[in-house]
Amino acid sequence: MAPPAQSQRSPSPSQPSGKSEVSDLKLQLRQLAGSRAPGVDDSKRELFKKVISYMTIGIDVSSLFGEMVMCSATSDIVLKKMCYLYVGNYAKVNPDLALLTINFLQRDCRDEDPMIRGLALRSLCSLRVANLVEYLVGPLGSGLKDGNSYVRMVAVMGVLKLYHISASTCIDADFPSILKHLMLHDSDTQVVANCLSALQEIWSAEASTSEEASREREALISKPVIYYLLNRIKEFSEWAQCLVLELVTKYVPSDSSEIFDIMNLLEDRLQHANGAVVLATIRVFLQLTLSMTDVHQQVYERIKAPLLTLVSSGSPEQSYAVLSHLHLLVMRAPYVFSSDYKHFYCQYNEPSYVKRLKLEMLTAVANESNTYEIVTELCEYAANVDIPIARESIRAVGKIALQQYDVNAIVDRLLQFLEMEKDYVTAEALVLVKDLLRKYPQWSHDCIAVVGNISSKNVQEPKAKAALIWMLGEYSQDMQDAPYVLESLVENWDEEHSAEVRLHLLTAVMRCFFKRPPETQSALGAALAAGIADFHQDVHDRALFYYRILRYNVSVAERVVNPPKQAVSVFADTQSSEIKDRIFDEFNSLSVLYQKPSYMFTDKEHRVPLEFADELGNLSIGEAANNVVPTQMVEENDKDLLLTTSEKEETKGSRNNGSAYTVPYDGSSTSVFASQAQIESAVSNPTLAGHSPQASFAIDDLLGLGIPATPAVPSPPQLKLNTKAALDPSTFQQKWRQLPVALSQEISVNPQGVAALTAPQALLRHMQSHSIHCIASGGQSPNFKFFFFAQKFEESSNYLVECVINTSSAKAQVKIKADDQNTSQDFSTLFESALSKFGTS
């Protein structure tokens, strides 16, 4: 049962709910409003306190707005603060009354006391009322120039608040450039830090529409700014240090000596008691060394001790956040941590979410030298009072068994589990023994001897029962009473609720039949009869199939049901390496705790500023223009776990190469990568262009033939598109990231098309009529960016397109990705033809 909503709670002295209290307060406030009696401030304080406490517990006291404002004429600073707090909370719902407060706030902004000036300015900017912005510009302007750093600090945040209320007012007043100046010149580090926060937010938001803003955003991670901040880093508060470190992560140093300089400078940050500073530093180290395998490895060694210290100091919550990051690193490079396995032992009083991480880490670091001890420890947990953890411990033992070469000792342990006679232990162990036998059939003798002793009546869980039945079928020649056990299970067919178990039972009886026909015949008959009568479609179908194939030809049936089996060598991993790399890229963020990349849990408007990933939601034209290198190397993903992200590093490097500042590339490994990538893309483009029918278009135009109804002359086997194709944005994003670029080319847009493209929407409708659907679009004249998708008719094969159109040059940059690479050329032809008709129909 959920707790009752606050408003429904019965009134208690501390939690009043009634309106009478509020109207009572209203009366009392009125009486005090004009009073100048001695001690009036004290009574006001008491009343204000009551108002604030009602506000806190969720009672609507907005009706007191007028009275509160009337009482606010006071020199008592505590009263003022309470009044500001109240006004900030309710101004939004009372925009007209909020106007009343402007007067006294503006007056306070000019007070002698910097404290009052700061407070008033903060409250003024916190009103969040759009029609009051005109009153903010003046005070903010003088606040930014104030001699007192507290006022400047408040004013900088005020600029950001103003931006959120009215972006145009903020930009028009030229506040961002004032902030930029302050950031590089103010003596107070908190002012600097606030400027950095504000500018990151403002320019990231502006970057999608303004090229200048996106250049400014790039300039934040230019060498002068980064070095300026890094050199002062110790003067910043620990929180501002995190901010600076976060920014440094995005900086691309020009050569390895620069990388070492930065790391040496930040080395002592790893000894900071604040875990956030340490993690931010670690992220910088990891990012900087991605392309330097040896150093990267050393970084892992270096950060191990500080991470372990953070895990064991601090509150359980903090230690969980750090442990999650350690978990990520352990999963990436288990061998680095293989001697630290004892740190991953579970403590009895830890919460399940911590134990679960530790179990996974123990599983990952198990190797020849420590397996015995790890498995011994895990077996202790199997008897744990916490049953879910006990189960997972057993599963961990199984996983270790599957990843080891020498499973001898582990098999014994697993078999001991079966003898423990705890039903959940037996259940888990059965599933594991089954998997183990699939990989190591040579162990069947030892295992079957023990499994044979388990009464199927003691096994209730479907998964475990299915595993047991599978083994009965697979090894029926070795298990004396297999046919009879199966027979009794068939007899109880109706009581078996799990379809999975019934499916397994059918197959097992079939298998048993081929091995020991006389003993199984009757059971098989009964099973087929029951199966065919089964209400579950799959069970019914399988039974019918078996029945018919047996009637058709028994030896064919045997080949189908009992083929010689190959041992399974690798079980499928659950998480793709692509996802894992994404999470690693987002080190020191929630992605690591949720074990999901941020696009899976964050709305696009709340992405972290300065995120570099080529996100759909982040339709920044400036960035796209610089993005010369297509993400064509994704398939090289699992070269080396530690290095997979280096490809992204390259893209980043080359991207910056085209931006406002030029980093001198002088023979460092990154520069080699970057230039290579550029050459590659340069080479690949002309070859692609050769294939494309672009040339014929140009001729058509020259001849003034107007727009050809069908595209190129030698029409390839016509590709038909699904008119009702559907694809959700997240799948699109995922595919876009996974697929290599199949085609990349520049297309000319005809003049009619340019003329028609006044807003992105016009093109969308047009393309839709050609079964090419838009999933995201953005931009303003002359730059537009679109993401399209299409699906092959009657197939689930998708085509994804990124199309950047510049109307002043009448050119479209098109990148196509396809599930089915072979048909991407056909699709490209179709796409071009559709685009060329734009504006003419």
Judged by CB under 8 A, does residue 352 bind other proteins? yes
Q: How far apart are CA 642 and CA 640, in angstroms?
A: 5
Q: Among residues 324 and 659, whose Cβ is nearest to other proteins?
A: 324
b/e map 540-549, b = 16+ CB within 10 Å: eebbeebbeb
Q: How far apart are CA 5 and CA 640, in angstroms?
A: 53
Question: Are the beta carbons of 524 and 510 closer than 8 angstroms?
Answer: yes
**Residue 101 in contact with other proteins, rule: CB under 8 A:** no
596: exposed, middle or buried (Cβ count in 10 Å: 0-12, 13-18, 19+): middle
Are residues 201 and 170 in contact, defined by beta-carbon separation less than 8 angstroms? no
| CA atoms of 120 and 83, how far apart (whole Å) | 11
The one among 574, 606, 666, 687 contacting other proteins by CB under 8 A: 606
Structure tokens at 263: 């790391």
Residue whose tokens read 């009551």? 50
**Nearest CA among 457, 452, 513, 510 for reference residue 481:** 452
Among 117, 122, 413, 766, binds other proteins (CB under 8 A): 122
Q: Shortest Cβ distance from residue 287 to other proteins (Å)?
A: 14
In the bound complex, what is the minimum distance in angstroms from residue 662's beta carbon to other proteins?
31
- How far apart are CB 237 and other proteins at their closest, in Å? 6
Cis-peptide into 597, omega within 30 deg: no
Total chain residues near other proteins (CB under 8 A): 100
- Please, which of residues 797-836 interact with other proteins by CB under 8 A? none
Distances, alpha carbon 517 to alpha carbons 43, 274, 521, 719, in Å: 97, 71, 6, 54
Based on the shown chain and the rule CB under 8 A, indicate whether residue 555 belongs to the binding site for other proteins: no
Residue selected from 593, 628, 641, 660 as contacting other proteins according to rule CB under 8 A:
593
CB of 648 to other proteins, least distance (A): 17
By CB under 8 A, is residue 130 in contact with other proteins?
Answer: no
Structure tokens at 734: 């995922």
- Closer by beta carbon to other proteins, 11 or else 388: 388
Q: Which residues between 213 and 252 bind other proteins (CB under 8 A)?
A: 237-240, 242, 246
Q: Which of 601, 639, 691, 755 binds other proteins (CB under 8 A)?
A: 601
Q: Which residue, 49 or 691, is less far from other proteins as judged by CB?
A: 49
Per DSSP, the three-state class of 632 is coil
Task: Reduce the DSSP state of residue 203 to 3 states and report it.
Answer: helix
Measure the N-to-C terminal CA separation of the chain; round to a whole number of Å.
Answer: 61
Beta carbon of residue 494, minimum distance to other proteins (angstroms, whole number): 30
Would you count residue 92 as binding other proteins (CB under 8 A)?
yes
CB of 655 to other proteins, least distance (A): 21
Which region, judged by CB under 8 A, interacts with other proteins, from 338-346, 707-715, 762-770, 806-814? 338-346
Do residues 686 and 744 lie in contact, with contact meaning Cβ atoms separated by under 8 Å?
no
Interaction between residue 607 and other proteins (CB under 8 A): yes
Between 597 and 630, CB nearer to other proteins: 597
| Stretch 254-273 residues interacting with other proteins (CB under 8 A) | 271-273
- Can you name the residues that pair with 786 across neighbouring β-strands? 777, 803
What is the nearest approach in angstroms of other proteins to the Cβ of residue 598? 4
**Lookup: tokens for 553:** 């030809």
CA nearest neighbour of 659 among 228, 199, 243, 252: 252
CA angle (225, 231, 232) in 5-degree steps? 95
Binding to other proteins by CB under 8 A, coded x per residue (else -) over 307-336, reads: -xxx-xxxxxxx-xxx-xx-----------
Closest by Cα among 648, 643, 650 to 671: 650
Indicate the residue among 55 and 660 with the shorter CB distance to other proteins.
55
- Residues 150-179 binding other proteins (CB under 8 A) are 153-154, 157, 160-161, 164
Q: Kindly write out the interface string for residues 277-296 of this chain, putting x where it contacts other proteins by CB under 8 A and - elsewhere.
A: -xxx----------------
Nearer to other proteins, 162 or 530 (CB): 162
Residues 11-50 as x/- pattern, contact with other proteins by CB under 8 A: ---xx---------------------------------x-
In whole angstroms, give the CA distance from residue 402 to residue 410: 10
Tokens of 722: 């699904």
Q: Does 347 bind other proteins (CB under 8 A)?
A: yes
SS3 at position 774: strand
| Residues within window 722-741 making contact with other proteins, judged by CB under 8 A | none
Task: Using the minimum distance from each CB to other proteins, give the nearer residue, 343 or 511.
Answer: 343
- Long-range contact pairs involving 530-539 (C-beta distance under 8 Å, separation at least 24): 530/490, 530/493, 530/494, 531/502, 531/506, 534/502, 536/499, 536/502, 538/499, 538/503, 539/499, 539/502, 539/503, 539/506
For other proteins, the binding residues in 434-473 under the rule CB under 8 A are none
Cβ within 8 Å of residue 287, ≥6 positions away: 249, 587, 649
Give the rounded distance of the alpha carbon of 296 from its chain centre.
24
d(CA 547, CA 783): 65
Pick out residues in 668-697 that bind other proteins (CB under 8 A): none
Instruction: Compare residues 355 and 766 and give the one whose CB is closer to other proteins.
Output: 355
User: DSSP letter string over 500-518?
Assistant: HHHHHHHHHHHHHHHHSHH
Among 93, 554, 567, 590, binds other proteins (CB under 8 A): 590
CB of 288 to other proteins, least distance (A): 18
DSSP of 579-591, one letter per residue?
HHHHHHHT-SSHH
Residues 66, 419: Cα–Cα separation, whole Å: 76
Q: Which is nearer to other proteins, 299 or 756 (CB)?
A: 299
We find the least distance from the C-beta atom of residue 611 to other proteins, in angstroms, to be: 9
Binders of other proteins in range 376-435 (CB under 8 A): 377, 380, 383, 385-386, 388, 419-421
Complex with other proteins: residue 340 or 519, whichever CB lies closer? 340
Say how many C-beta atoms besides its own lie within 10 A of residue 563's C-beta.
Answer: 8
Among 335, 353, 484, 571, binds other proteins (CB under 8 A): 353
Cα dihedral across residues 331, 334, 337, 339: positive or negative: positive
Restricting to residues 43-82, name those near other proteins by CB under 8 A: 49, 52-53, 56-58, 77-78, 81-82
Considering only CA atoms, which of 96, 24, 95, 14 is closest in space to residue 58?
A: 14
CB of 114 to other proteins, least distance (A): 10
Which one among 208, 214, 393, 591 touches other proteins, defined by CB under 8 A? 591
Q: How far apart are CA 805 and CA 838, in angstroms?
A: 13
> Segment contacting other proteins (CB under 8 A): 31-39, 303-311, 406-414, 702-710?
303-311
Region class of 810: left (phi > 0), else alpha (psi between -120 and 50), else beta: left
- Shortest spacing between CB 540 and other proteins, in angstroms: 34
Q: Which is nearer to other proteins, 383 or 409 (CB)?
A: 383
Residue 34, token pair as written in the block: 């004009």
Angle formed at CA 243 by CA 146 and CA 84, multiple of 5 degrees? 45
Closest approach, Cβ 343 to other proteins, in A, equals 8
Output the smallest distance, CB 70 to other proteins, in A. 20
* Residue 85 interacts with other proteins (CB under 8 A): yes or no: yes
For residues 747 and 814, the answer to whether their CB atoms sit within 8 Å is: yes
Which of 23, 339, 477, 676 is the binder for other proteins (CB under 8 A)? 339
Cβ 608 vs Cβ 589: under 8 Å? yes
701 binds other proteins, rule: CB under 8 A = no
Subset of residues 132 to 151 that bind other proteins, contact rule: CB under 8 A = none
Q: Could you say which of 197, 287, 363, 744 contacts other proteins (CB under 8 A)? A: 197
CB of 187 to other proteins, least distance (A): 16
Nearer Cβ to other proteins, position 417 or 827? 417
